[in-house]
Structures are given as structure tokens and as C-alpha cells.
Structure 1
Amino acid sequence: MLTALRNDIDLQALLLAVPKPNTEQRTRDWLNRRLDDPQGVFFIICDRSSNRGVGFIQVVHIELLHRRGELGLCIEPSEQGKGYATAALGLIERYLQDVFDLRKLTLNVLASNENAIGFYRGINYSTVGTLKQHFYYKQTFHDVLVMEKLFFAADVSR
């Protein structure tokens, strides 16, 4: 499943990744880097009834001092809209708060990816900026939105 996701050129562009051909070994190497990253967490998203992988969710650049991380989420196109992303985000947000005491997640999304933007807004992510002409794909530069979800505000009254 992961190799197929990593070889889907249009899907990789939606993830703001540079698409490259991936063998099973390259995918294993990528997965091992994700799992070995001390500033990140990575989980496979599975269908509960079949235990078949349908995507993945990761948080990278976890900064414990600032109590934030950067979200990445990928669901197979044929499995989107079935609640997997909502369930996975609910679980990982609780995990990050309970284990790392994170207070905020950020993410980047193509400004043209209306489905993803609508999804994130629906679960209380807000747009905090636009990176103009930030991502190059198919001979065009694309804007990227920066979104965030604040679990709780920091006490700044000190």
C-alpha cells in the first residue's frame, strides 16, 4: 500500500512531495527514516474490519520546547471520505497531547486543494498564511496555505 501511494504522482504532489519512482526497498528505507526520526511519529491508518492499510499519518518536526509539530496525512484516493482521516486525526491529536503535551499542529496544503482545505476547516484548523508560488508542479508554481490547530493557548501572562 505504501509503495503504491508513493508512486501515485498526483497524490504525491497533493502532499507537496517531489514524486520519484519507488521500489519496495526505497519505500522500506523511507519508512525506516520516518520511524527512526526522534522528532516525529508515524502511524499506518488501517480499516478496522479488514486491518488493511488505507493510508498514513505523521507528525514531523516535533519541537518539545515550543510544543508544536507539523502534520502530514495521506489516505488512498479510493478510501477518502469514509472517516479514516477524521478518526486518525482525533487519535493522533489526543496522543500528541497526552504523550508530548503538544499544544499546536501546523500543516501545509496546496491552495488549490479545496477538498483538503474544507476537511481541515471542518475539524477546526484555521488558515494562518499563504506561501506564494511556493510549490512547483507540472511547470507551474502553486500557492500553499499554512494552517494550524491550537489545542490550547499558551499562558502568556507571566
Structure 2
Amino acid sequence: MLFESSRIVLKKMTSSYAELYHSWRNNIEIMQSTNPLLDVYDLDETKEFINQVILGSHSSKSYIIVEKKSDTPIGITSLINIDYKNRNAECIIDIGEKDYWGKGYGTEALKLLLDYAFLEMNLHRVSLRVFSFNNNAIKLYEKLGFKYEGSSRQSLFREGTWHDIIHMGILQDEYVNYHHL
């Protein structure tokens, strides 16, 4: 099955996950490395965000990452800004449950998402943005075949220091040749 690996399954994001997503979204430690705004939201704002941005947009597809053995939702991964005409999209991922950090779940989830993007949706290119200090994420993306495409210099101010936002991308033939030899 497409949305399943040995350890995880991707389930379509629905509003029933609002409170769980809200707890991740308001955890500064989790969002430190992924959210440029680092704001605190109330539950109504999160519900509105889910309904309008995640569920209400035809240019995004979002999935909750569920660890199969314990049936625990551990994060979210999405294709956003889907451009069907030019077959492009951007991907994002957050592992919201800290107990599951550093154990390869992000790699597995992103691989399932990229399989879907390239093999089912027939996208040509998937891009992402990552903060320059997030070395673990950069290594993960490189391991999956993403290539450095440039940076937005000093566009993020975090803990008294300016950081770059790095732009990476992978093309369909690069992904298919890299992962399905």
C-alpha cells in the first residue's frame, strides 16, 4: 500500500486532529527548527488554520504520520503550493512527538510522501525550505536526494542571531533513479 511502510502509516489530515496539531504547533521546542514565526496560537486560530489552509486549499495535501504498532500520531507531512500545471510542489514535515525524534520516522514519512508525489501525482519537482542551523534535517533531505538550490540570506532571526533559509529541491527522475534502481 502506498501510504504505509513497515513502521508508519500516513492518514489524511482531518479536523479531528485539531487539538493534537495544536499541541505541536504551540510547543516552542518542536517549532523552533521549522516555524519562522514562533508564535503562540489559541485553539480557534489553529482550527481556522486547519480548515482554511490545510483542508480548504486544493493546492495542499496533508497527512498525519501514525506509528503503526502503538497507533500513535507522531507528526504531520504535507505537500503545499501544489502547481498542477508545472507539476511542482513544496513539502514540509514536522515530527511533533519528541520521543520519536532521531529514529528515522521523518525519513520514512517523507519517502512515502515523495513516492506519492512522483509516482502517483506525477510531479516533476518537489522543493523545501530548511533553516540553516537545522543540520539533522539538512542531512535527512540530502540522504533522500534533495540538492542545494540556494539560500535566502539572513532572513530568519532566532535567539539573537541571523540565519539563512536554505532552498533544496529534487526532480522526479533524480528521485526515481536514486530510490528505485
Q: TM-score, normalised by structure 1?
A: 0.87
Of 38, 41, 46, which residue of structure 2 is paired with 1:22?
Answer: 41
Aligned residues: 153
Taking the aligned partners of 2:47 and 2:134, their CA distance within structure 1 comes to 28
| Structure 1 partner of 2:142 | 121
| Structure 2 partner of 1:141 | 162
Secondary structure of the equivalent of 1:15?
coil
Displacement of 1:14: 1.3
Instruction: Verify: 1:82 aligned to 2:82, yes or no.
Output: no
Runs of at least 5 residues in structure 1 that lack an aligned partner in the other structure: 154-158
Q: CA RMSD in A?
A: 1.7
Runs of at least 5 residues in structure 2 that lack an aligned partner in the other structure: 1-19, 175-181
| Structure 2 partner of 1:156 | none
Displacement of 1:13: 3.3
Q: TM-score, normalised by structure 2?
A: 0.77
Taking the aligned partners of 1:142 and 1:105, their CA distance within structure 2 comes to 23
Taking the aligned partners of 1:99 and 1:36, their CA distance within structure 2 comes to 22
Displacement of 1:110: 0.8
Q: Is the 8 A contact 2:34 2:94 kept in 1?
A: yes
Secondary structure of the equivalent of 1:21?
coil
Output one character per residue of 1:69-121: Cα deviation in whole Å (capped at 9) or x when no partner. Answer: 11110003321122321221122112222443212110111111111111111
Which stretch has the larger CA shift, 115-124 or 144-153? 144-153
Q: Is the 8 A contact 1:110 1:142 kept in 2?
A: yes
Secondary structure of the equivalent of 2:32?
helix
Secondary structure of the equivalent of 2:81?
strand
Taking the aligned partners of 1:136 and 1:5, their CA distance within structure 2 comes to 21
Output one character per residue of 1:108-150: Cα deviation in whole Å (capped at 9) or x when no partner. Answer: 1111111111111111111111210111223432111111111
Q: Give the letter aligned to residue 35 of structure 1.
A: L
Output one character per residue of 1:31-76: Cα deviation in whole Å (capped at 9) or x when no partner. Answer: 2121111111100111111221100001111111211111110003
Secondary structure of the equivalent of 2:58?
coil
Q: Is the 8 A contact 1:111 1:142 kept in 2?
A: yes
Which stretch has the larger CA shift, 65-74 or 91-100? 91-100
Taking the aligned partners of 1:71 and 1:125, their CA distance within structure 2 comes to 11
